[in-house]
Structure 1
Amino acid sequence: MSSVADTSEPIHVDTTDQFHDLIAEHPTVVVDYYADWCGPCKMLEPTVAELAAETDAVVLKLDIEAHQELASEASVRSIPTIQFLADGEESERLVGVHDKSELVEAVESL
């Protein structure tokens, strides 16, 4: 699989290896921890898609039901959780639904 991904849309995480590879390959990564049954996650989804389209960050969508181990590694306790990574290290984390401006500000501060 090519490591070149379309970063203008959120990338749905399929495997643990893919998750770690994407974080290693890209300097600015935003991870949206969500679940299909989560109402607030659905409310945040269009904002997350806009973030992917309008910033240089690579936006990953990680289903906590399918990837419980990764969510646990990241100490995700409630959803939605948005994790901001700079060079593989967490620089900020937002829990709950936030305005697009708050998410863009967090990306720009990376």
Structure 2
Amino acid sequence: MSDADSLEDIREQKREELMDQLDGEGDTATEHAASQSADTPNSPIHIDGSDHLDEVTASHDVVLVDFYADWCGPCKQLEPIIEEVAGETEAAVAKVDIDRHQHLAQQHGVQGVPTMVIFSDGQPGERVVGVKSATQLTNLIESYSYYHGWPG
């Protein structure tokens, strides 16, 4: 078989893969979202240190991290919203107690609570401070999820 023949075989295989994706078959964004959803917990992950946060943000495409304190009234108001968002989105949701993990709060520039930081591909992105609605947080997550081909 010549190089031209093998190149043509590769092109044909790629063409078939692309056609399958257009027809809704093969490894599509929807399938990826379904597999991501199956691996994503539907309740917040309580972070127990730097290594754990690194592990969570590395193992999920999009992670919303809620930096909170037990003594914080607005944090308590936000808690059921965080629970709802964790159960209804494709993203992982994590919680960091700033009193137990002051170094993480400092590392991520948290100056007030509640502060939420969205991570995409393991990197911190947008930061929001204060109580937000489930819709606002879901929209934030979806704006990052779009880049991963998740349905919006």
Place the TM-score, normalised by the shorter chain, in its bin. over 0.9
Question: TM-score if structure 1 supplies the norm length?
Answer: 0.92
Cα distance in structure 2, aligned partners of 1:15 and 1:36: 17
> Is 1:87 matched up with 2:87?
no
2:59 matched to 1:38?
no
**C-alpha distance in structure 2 between counterparts of 1:51 and 1:21, whole Å:** 21
**Structure 1 residue ranges, 4+ long, deviating more than 4 angstroms after superposition:** none
CA contact (8 A) 2:63 2:92 kept: yes
Residues 5-25 of structure 1: per-residue CA shift (max 9 Å, x gap): 761000111122111111111
Q: Deviations over 1:57-98 (max 9, x none)?
A: 110010000000011000001000011111122221110011
How does the TM-score come out when normalised to structure 2? 0.67
Give matches, 1:18-97, under 5 Å. 18-97=52-131
Contact 2:61–2:121 under 8 Å retained in 1:
yes
Q: Match of 2:136?
A: 102
Q: Larger strand proportion, structure 1 or 2?
A: 1
The structure showing larger relative contact order (alpha-carbon pairs under 8 Å, at least 6 residues apart) is 1
Segments of 5+ residues of structure 1 without an aligned counterpart are: none
Q: SS at the partner of 2:140?
A: helix
Determine which structure has the larger helix proportion and give its number.
Answer: 2
Give the superposed CA RMSD.
1.4
Number of aligned positions between the proteins: 107
* SS state at 2:118 partner: strand
Unmatched 5+ stretches in structure 2 = 1-38, 145-152
